[in-house]
């Protein structure tokens, strides 16, 4: 979802001996999937350091001239986890976010021109300074 994911990572305790990246990892080892590293990797995202919300458009939506829109690997972003232990509120959160954001973006143009943010971890990534946005009402 993000240049700076909400959660640090997802973890699992291995239920059997497994090979990860060519290394033998024994059963019972705790494995963490680090969202920050993956979401900022050029292997998965073109220009990962840039804020490009269009990269998250569903693949069935076509925006001509959007070079960032392409199919994203399904395990690159897991803000709600995955599998049996995934977040129960995922669908509700997605519907609520889509509804709220579509209403806001329909009425306002939103700009952020306040410099680079720095983050602290506690246990999620939190900006160290206030977020300031400029909302300009659209003529609808």
In contact, 50 and 57? CB cutoff 8 Å: no
Cβ atoms within 10 Å of 61's Cβ, excluding its own: 9
> For the chain, what are the domain ranges?
1-87, 100-140
Instruction: With a cut of 70, list the residues of the chain below it in pLDDT.
Output: 1-3, 58-71, 123, 140
Cα distances from 19 to residues 14, 61, 84, 99, in angstroms, run 11, 37, 22, 42
* pTM, to two decimals: 0.50
For 103-123, give one letter per residue: b (16+ CB within 10 A) or e: eeeeeeeeeeeeeeeeeeeee
| Cα(29)–Cα(12) distance, integer angstroms | 8
pLDDT tens across 11-33, in order?
A: 788 999 999 989 999 999 988 88
Write down the mean pLDDT value for the chain: 81
- Determine if residue 66 is labeled as part of a ligand binding site: no
Q: What is the DSSP string of 113-125?
A: -S----EEESSBE
């Amino acid at each position: 979802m993000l240049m700076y994911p909400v959660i640090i990572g997802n973890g699992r305790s291995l239920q059997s001996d497994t090979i990860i990246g060519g290394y033998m990892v024994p059963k019972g080892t705790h494995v963490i999937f680090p969202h920050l590293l993956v979401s900022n990797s050029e292997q998965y995202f073109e220009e990962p350091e840039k804020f490009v919300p269009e990269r998250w458009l569903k693949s069935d939506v076509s925006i001509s001239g959007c070079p960032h829109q392409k199919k994203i690997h399904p395990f690159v972003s897991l803000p709600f986890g995955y599998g049996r232990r995934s977040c129960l509120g995922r669908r509700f959160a997605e519907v609520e976010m889509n509804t709220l954001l579509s209403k806001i973006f329909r009425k306002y143009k939103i700009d952020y021109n306040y410099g680079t943010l720095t983050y602290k971890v506690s246990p999620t990534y939190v900006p160290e300074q206030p977020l300031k946005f400029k909302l300009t009402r659209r003529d609808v």
